[in-house]
Amino acid sequence: MLIKSFSEHGFHHAEMNQDNQDAVYYGNNKNFTVISLADGVSECLQSRTGAEIASRASTNLLLKHGDLFMELDNQKIAQIVISHVLYELRYIADQESKKIEDYSSTLACVLLDKRRNKILCMNLGDAIILASDPGNCKVLTMPYDSSEGCCVTTTYNAYLATVVNFFDTSSIDSVVICSDGAWKQMFQKNKLKYEVFALIAASKYDVLEQFLRRQKCFDDFSFISLDMKQSRKGKAA
Amino acid sequence: MKGTITRRLDSVIDNLQSEFQTLYCKGDFIAKMEALKLAGNQSDRPSKLKKLFEMFDACEIKYERGMSNEYYEKLIAKSALPSFKDLEDKMLIKLYSIYERYPTPTEYMTRIVNRLSDPDDHWEDDSLQLRILKQFIKYGDYLSSAGYNGRKFITDYAKDKISSKSLDSKTDVVRIIAALDDEIFKALDTASSDQKSPEGKFGLLKIADDLALGKFHTEGSTKKQLYLFAMAYGMTYYSGADDTKIDAETDIEINLFRDYYTNNLMRFISDVYKGKLDEYELDPSGQGINYKNFAEMIYLYYISQKFTPREKIAKSSAMIEKIKKERRQQGSEPSIQDNGTETYRNLFSEEILNKSEAEFEEFIKQNYDCDTFQGNYSRGVLQLGTTQNSAFKVYSELLERLRELIKEKEKDIPEKSRMTLENCNYGLWFTDVAAFWKYGCESICERNPEIEREKFAEFMELLLAMNNFLGYAVKEDESTKSGEQERAELSTIKTKTLYASESTVTRSSIIVAFYYYYNALHEKDGQDKWKNFGELFNEYKRVLNPELAKAYYQPLSGRNIFDLLVVFSSYAYLNM
């Protein structure tokens, strides 16, 4: 199982001397692997911390109760994960005497069930989850239309705006979660740029990082990928 | 980085209803309390208690957890909670504050144009009409290939402005555009309707003006304008291909069909009310792209191809004309049968978009009704395939369920006094429309001086219009008729939206039919009295969205003020 993460300051935050507000996290055990990415809301004072908590809390929860999540219906999954994240956020907000809204972020996670050969994708907000299907690249979950505001962890009933889907991994080589700062460089309007398509189709995430580094990104740009080819090869051997 | 924030729920799709979380009246608490008592010590007591605590929190009432029912009952009794009547004021003001934030069609169009314009053109200080006109000239070659006239008038206008005799409409585009100003649109003030038609002298000016003001017209001409606009501004179509995503900034369905529809539905309703409907079409259907229409499929095909905007406009227009002419020459051969929207939606896949132009043309001829001359009757290309069989089926089934329900509920009532579909006409329930009709909105404005009177009056006008759309309001004028006569007369006034046909059914007719059905179903069961507005909105979404999806209409959305007002009215109906 090869996990690659990459997160870089956009020039806007760099110029403002602000932290990178994207956070990536992953966890792995015998039966499950989880990757997650959260993007803090810039206007919120503690968004970096909020993003870290959201990605860590969701990863740990999904990893610990992977079997349960594989059985639940989509809305219930979103409800449980989001309420757990809110619980963690509320705890820290109370400790720090701050408002929970100060810790707002988006959240996207992928849970891989190695035994069932299934993945669960969960996406709240404007990240995108893509998959490499040998020779092809496909969108697994789309970003939320953020033109009039984006649903985030502290949005009322955020679970209703959370997309949850299951996919069979037999024809998927790798998955990658990209923050909006990253995917905006990867798409030309509604279509993946050809060179990015080729990179993801071949699961070349090192080269994707180089590609992103060459772009001038206003926003923080991050991705976290999970390459499943390795473990498949191992199993075959 | 996100530019907007979290709990500003009013700006987030489908979360608008949370604005009403705190609109609890005393009755809501009493109903919740009843539910709690009924639960006794059963397993659902914790969830009922949780709900009650949330309501206390929302109203900032201090309470202790783990207490007896009597404690909470006393707490409710001594708390200064509003009555439903007080709430009515609050509701209206809250709804008004939301209405105030809805963009006008012009504001909305400005946003799209700002997003999609090339900043290097530097037209941002021009009026919206002028920007759209310039875009059509520069990127769409005056829309000449799509049958629009105006090239000569515009060139002459520019010549006059810069006192030059030698301007060529093709080679001097930059100079012509630089010479244009808002005065050019004054020509429309005195133009005849022929001159304002697409082929008329001012055809191009008119389309720019219509789009900027968000006007919509009959016989599919608005749809054609929207597709041309989409091509001129490089918008995209999401076909579901693996490597594509819906691009919210450029997607034609989101920007021009979903949001445009939402804006224009409200304008339509107001215009019906004001009697200004002569040149406008009836009730925007809410269907968006019509996958049964061959011309729309050609537009989508070219929107998805890698051509310049000018080429897209020219090629799509040429293919539509070619197919139309060829079909006309075939004479009275039987038309291709309408196989239902679902078939056509599935047919129009990514694979089709990857066909060559010649293959695609053949595909269209073989699968779509392209016959604009059926019998002696000639139709516009965008009028083909407009029957909405799936939507009508959903609508008819809903009405049938409503009829059955009424029959069942009224079986013990004397026939003369029974409610029927004909007298499902009570309209909006959350405000006394008749009183507003009679007394105006002065008193509410006096009680709330922060309200801008003119804007509030406009909002009330919208409510009155919606009330007419949903039913009928009694005018409280002096009457010479007896009460019995008036009741009899009122009961025969039908709600127009409950009598739609295959060709006139719309998303709003389905919503209105559902509104009467839902109210009739739940008015006495008490279950919905235990729901707050947010819960009721979600319940509407849960039950109604699958029906709307079957009809290929957009789902219920908090972003659409029509939807919001209908559900709000239901909330009031079930609680009053």
The larger pLDDT score, comparing residue A21 to residue B47, is at: A21
Put simply, whether A39 touches B (Cβ < 8 Å) is: yes
Give the pLDDT score at B485. Answer: 55
Give the C-alpha separation, B369 to B381, whole Å: 10
Please give, rounded to a whole number of angstroms, the shortest distance from the CA of B346 to a CA of chain A: 19
B414/B306 same-domain check = no
Evaluate whether residue B111 is within a structural domain: no
* Model confidence at B366: pLDDT above 70: yes
Please give, rounded to a whole number of angstroms, the shortest distance from the CA of A33 to a CA of chain B: 24
Put simply, whether A104 touches B (Cβ < 8 Å) is: yes
Highest mean pLDDT among A133-142, B145-154, B369-378, B384-393: B145-154
Compute the C-alpha angle B18/A103/A36, nearest 5°. Answer: 100
Put simply, whether A148 touches B (Cβ < 8 Å) is: yes
pLDDT band at B81 (very low <50, low <70, confident <90, very high): confident
* Model confidence at A200: pLDDT above 60: yes
Give the pLDDT score at B1. Answer: 34
Written as one string, the DSSP assignment of B153-210 is HHHHHHHHHHT-S---TTTTHHHHHHH--GGGGGHHHH--HHHHSTTSTTHHHHHHHH
Which residues are CB-contacts of B204 (< 8 A; sequence separation ≥ 6)? B133, B136, B137, B142, B143, B148, B149, B150, B151, B154
Please give, rounded to a whole number of angstroms, the shortest distance from the CA of B315 to a CA of chain A: 22
pLDDT band at B5 (very low <50, low <70, confident <90, very high): very low
A7, A20, A191: best mutation site toward chain B, by most B Cβ within 10 Å?
Answer: A191
B5 to chain A: which residues are within 8 Å by CB? Answer: 41, 43-44, 101, 104, 149
B376/B395 same-domain check = no
Q: Which of B7, B9, B245 lies closest to A190 in CB terms? A: B245
B304/B184 same-domain check = yes
Mean per-residue pLDDT for B509-516? 91
The answer to whether the CB atoms of A145 and B254 lie below 8 A apart is: yes
Mean of all residue pLDDT scores within chain B: 79
Which residues are CB-contacts of A131 (< 8 A; sequence separation ≥ 6)? A137, A138, A140, A167, A172, A173, A174, A175, A176
Tokens encoding B164: 């030059």
pLDDT band at B552 (very low <50, low <70, confident <90, very high): confident
Tracing tokens 């004309």 back to the chain, one arrives at B321
Q: Is B415 exposed, middle or buried (0-12, 13-18, 19+ CB in 10 A)?
A: exposed
B1, B254, B542: best mutation site toward chain A, by most A Cβ within 10 Å?
Answer: B1
B368/B429 same-domain check = no
CA distances for B34 relative to A130, A234, B149, B530, angstroms = 49, 61, 69, 9
Mean per-residue pLDDT for B527-554? 80
The answer to whether the CB atoms of B6 and A190 lie below 8 A apart is: no
Evaluate whether residue B72 is within a structural domain: yes
Mean per-residue pLDDT for B101-125? 87
**Scanning every residue of chain A, which has its alpha carbon at the shortest distance from the alpha carbon of B538?**
A160
Q: Which of B1, B4, B246 lies closest to A13 in CB terms? A: B1
Considering its fold, how many domains does chain B have in total?
A: 3
The answer to whether the CB atoms of B538 and A139 lie below 8 A apart is: no
B47/B137 same-domain check = no
Residue A217's identity, in one-letter code, is: C
pLDDT band at B414 (very low <50, low <70, confident <90, very high): low
Lowest mean pLDDT among A37-41, A141-145, B74-78, B503-507: B503-507
pLDDT in tens, A148-180: 668 899 988 889 889 999 999 998 999 999 999
* Model confidence at A32: pLDDT above 80: yes
Give the pLDDT score at B12. Answer: 32
Lowest mean pLDDT among A120-134, B281-295, B458-472, B515-529: B281-295
Give the pLDDT score at B148. Answer: 96
pLDDT band at B2 (very low <50, low <70, confident <90, very high): very low
Give the pLDDT score at B262. Answer: 60
Give the C-alpha separation, B523 to B530, whole Å: 12
The larger pLDDT score, comparing residue B20 to residue A8, is at: A8
The answer to whether the CB atoms of B2 and A133 lie below 8 A apart is: no
Q: How many CB atoms lie within 10 A of CB B553?
A: 25
Give the pLDDT score at A24. Answer: 97
Give the pLDDT score at B294. Answer: 93
pLDDT in tens, A65-99: 999 999 999 999 999 999 999 999 999 999 999 99
B248 to chain A: which residues are within 8 Å by CB? Answer: 143, 145-147
Evaluate whether residue B105 is within a structural domain: no
Evaluate whether residue B119 is within a structural domain: no
Give the C-alpha separation, A95 to B130, whole Å: 56
A189 to chain B: which residues are within 8 Å by CB? Answer: 234, 236, 247, 249-250
Evaluate whether residue B283 is within a structural domain: no
Q: Which of A148, A183, A189 lies closest to B11 in CB terms? A: A148
Please give, rounded to a whole number of angstroms, the shortest distance from the CA of B226 to a CA of chain A: 19
Put simply, whether A42 touches B (Cβ < 8 Å) is: yes
B156/B207 same-domain check = yes
Tokens encoding B80: 């200064």
pLDDT band at B157 (very low <50, low <70, confident <90, very high): very high
**Scanning every residue of chain B, which has its alpha carbon at the shortest distance from the alpha carbon of A220?**
B1
pLDDT in tens, B131-148: 999 999 999 999 999 999
Q: Residues B157, B330: contact at Cβ < 8 Å?
A: no
pLDDT band at B271 (very low <50, low <70, confident <90, very high): low
Q: Residues A113, A119: contact at Cβ < 8 Å?
A: yes
A90 to chain B: which residues are within 8 Å by CB? Answer: none
The answer to whether the CB atoms of B15 and A151 lie below 8 A apart is: yes
A148 to chain B: which residues are within 8 Å by CB? Answer: 4, 11-13, 559
B375/B486 same-domain check = no
A106 to chain B: which residues are within 8 Å by CB? Answer: 2
Mean per-residue pLDDT for B124-137? 97
Per DSSP, B286 falls in state S
pLDDT band at B85 (very low <50, low <70, confident <90, very high): low
The larger pLDDT score, comparing residue B419 to residue B171, is at: B171
Please give, rounded to a whole number of angstroms, the shortest distance from the CA of B115 to a CA of chain A: 11
B34/B180 same-domain check = no
* Model confidence at B551: pLDDT above 90: no
Give the pLDDT score at A46. Answer: 93
Of B336, B368, B383, the domain-final residue: B383
Mean per-residue pLDDT for B261-275? 60
* Model confidence at B471: pLDDT above 50: yes
Of B81, B115, B134, the domain-final residue: B81
Evaluate whether residue B109 is within a structural domain: no
The answer to whether the CB atoms of A190 and B251 lie below 8 A apart is: yes
The answer to whether the CB atoms of A157 and B5 lie below 8 A apart is: no
The answer to whether the CB atoms of B21 and A156 lie below 8 A apart is: yes
The answer to whether the CB atoms of B538 and A160 lie below 8 A apart is: yes
The answer to whether the CB atoms of A136 and B238 lie below 8 A apart is: no
**Which residues 168-197 on chain A approach chain B with CB closer than 8 angstroms?**
181, 183, 187, 189-192, 197
Give the C-alpha separation, B312 to B240, whole Å: 21
Lowest mean pLDDT among B139-153, B295-309, B363-377, B480-494: B480-494
% residues pLDDT > 90 (chain B): 31
Give the pLDDT score at B380. Answer: 78
- Is the ipTM here above 0.85? no
The answer to whether the CB atoms of B238 and A39 lie below 8 A apart is: no
pLDDT band at B345 (very low <50, low <70, confident <90, very high): confident
* Model confidence at A213: pLDDT above 80: yes
Nearest to B277 by CA among B499, B106, B498, B465: B465
Four-CA torsion A85, A86, A91, A93, nearest 10 degrees = 120
The H-assigned helical ranges of B289-430 are 294-303, 309-329, 341-347, 350-353, 357-367, 389-409
The H-assigned helical ranges of B410-531 are 433-439, 442-447, 453-470, 483-491, 507-522
Of B349, B383, B417, the domain-final residue: B383
| One-letter-per-residue 3-state SS of B334-349 | CCCCCCCHHHHHHHCC
Q: How many A-B residue pairs are in contact by the CB < 8 A criterion?
A: 119
User: Domains of chain A (ranges plus CATH)?
Assistant: 2-236 (3.60.40.10)
Evaluate whether residue B398 is within a structural domain: yes
Q: Residues B498, B426: contact at Cβ < 8 Å?
A: no
B137/B72 same-domain check = no
The larger pLDDT score, comparing residue B123 to residue B223, is at: B123
B137/B266 same-domain check = yes
Please give, rounded to a whole number of angstroms, the shortest distance from the CA of A231 to a CA of chain B: 25
The answer to whether the CB atoms of A152 and B2 lie below 8 A apart is: yes
Tokens encoding A136: 């092809």
Please give, rounded to a whole number of angstroms, the shortest distance from the CA of A14 to a CA of chain B: 12
Evaluate whether residue B3 is within a structural domain: no
Mean per-residue pLDDT for B524-546? 76
pLDDT band at A17 (very low <50, low <70, confident <90, very high): confident
% residues pLDDT > 90 (chain A): 76
B349/B216 same-domain check = yes
pLDDT band at B371 (very low <50, low <70, confident <90, very high): confident
Residue B513's identity, in one-letter code, is: A
Q: How many CB atoms lie within 10 A of CB A97?
A: 6
Give the pLDDT score at B179. Answer: 95
Interface residue ranges in chain B relative to chain A, Cβ cutoff 8 Å:
1-9, 11-15, 18, 21, 234, 236, 238, 241-251, 254, 534, 538, 559
B452: containing domain: 389-575
The dihedrals phi and psi of A174, each to the nearest 5 degrees, come to -155, 160
Q: What is the H or E stretch that residue A223 is in?
A: strand A221-227
Tokens encoding B50: 């949780």
Give the C-alpha separation, A6 to A65, whole Å: 26
Give the 3-state secondary structure of residue B555. coil
B446/B540 same-domain check = yes
The answer to whether the CB atoms of A106 and B13 lie below 8 A apart is: no
